[in-house]
Structure 1
Amino acid sequence: MEYETLNKETPEMKRLISGIKKLTNRVRTLAQTHRPLFQGDLFLTGREVCERLFLSPRTLQDYRDKGILPYTQIAGKILYRLSDINKILEENYIKR
């Protein structure tokens, strides 16, 4: 019976190392973007809301000041409930 020696340069090990690196990067991304649910609701930061709605931070502040978007403020951190944003989008949807 013949045995093959594996080292970092063999194709099998290169594929294994590449797969581990990809998995590591994916886990890091998920860890950074994961937001736990609070009573079944997902809360977004202002930056996340701006990215999703294609708004500037100043426009988001105007919407907050005018009462267009509801928000929660805890220790200076402002959070927006995803379900509230979806509800506002649905209510203001215009069918053509």
Structure 2
Amino acid sequence: MEVVTIEKRTFLYVCERFTEFAKRIESLYSTHTQKVENWLDSQEVCPLLGFSKRTLQYYRSSGRLAYSQIGSKIYYKSADIEKIISNCEIKNQSPKQITSYEKN
């Protein structure tokens, strides 16, 4: 084992530089990392929304639902699916007007 001695001032300088380096790395890491998002395929989305595959296709083509396609497989962000579900819940909470139907 080899022992190396350095001046206290040099040691403190190296420690300070290392701390600055660590802070810079943490800063870069926090600004360049993205939150990993869950992606769902059509087979997972249809039961969640209660949609047929055709209705899901209509939502895609009308621009109501964003999607990504890799090859022939289509994926949806879970946040977008949650948004559609919450919009449906909000609409369902509004009072509906009941109109009576009388037969003549």
1:46 aligns to 2:42 (yes or no): yes
Structure-1-length-normalised TM-score: 0.53
In 2, the alpha carbon distance for the partners of 1:80 and 1:44 equals 5
Tell me the CA shift for residue 39 of structure 1.
Answer: 3.8
**Count of aligned positions:** 59
Structure-2-length-normalised TM-score: 0.50
CA RMSD in angstroms, aligned pairs only: 1.8
Question: Which residues of structure 1 form unaligned runs of 5+?
Answer: 1-37
In 2, the alpha carbon distance for the partners of 1:89 and 1:48 equals 14
Percent identity, aligned pairs only, is: 41
Larger radius of gyration: 2
Post-superposition CA distance 1:47-89 (Å, at most 9, x none): 1110111111111111111111110011221001111111233
CA contact (8 A) 2:46 2:56 kept: yes
- Post-superposition, which runs of at least 4 consecutive aligned residues in structure 1 deviate over 4 A? none
In 1, the alpha carbon distance for the partners of 2:44 and 2:64 equals 17
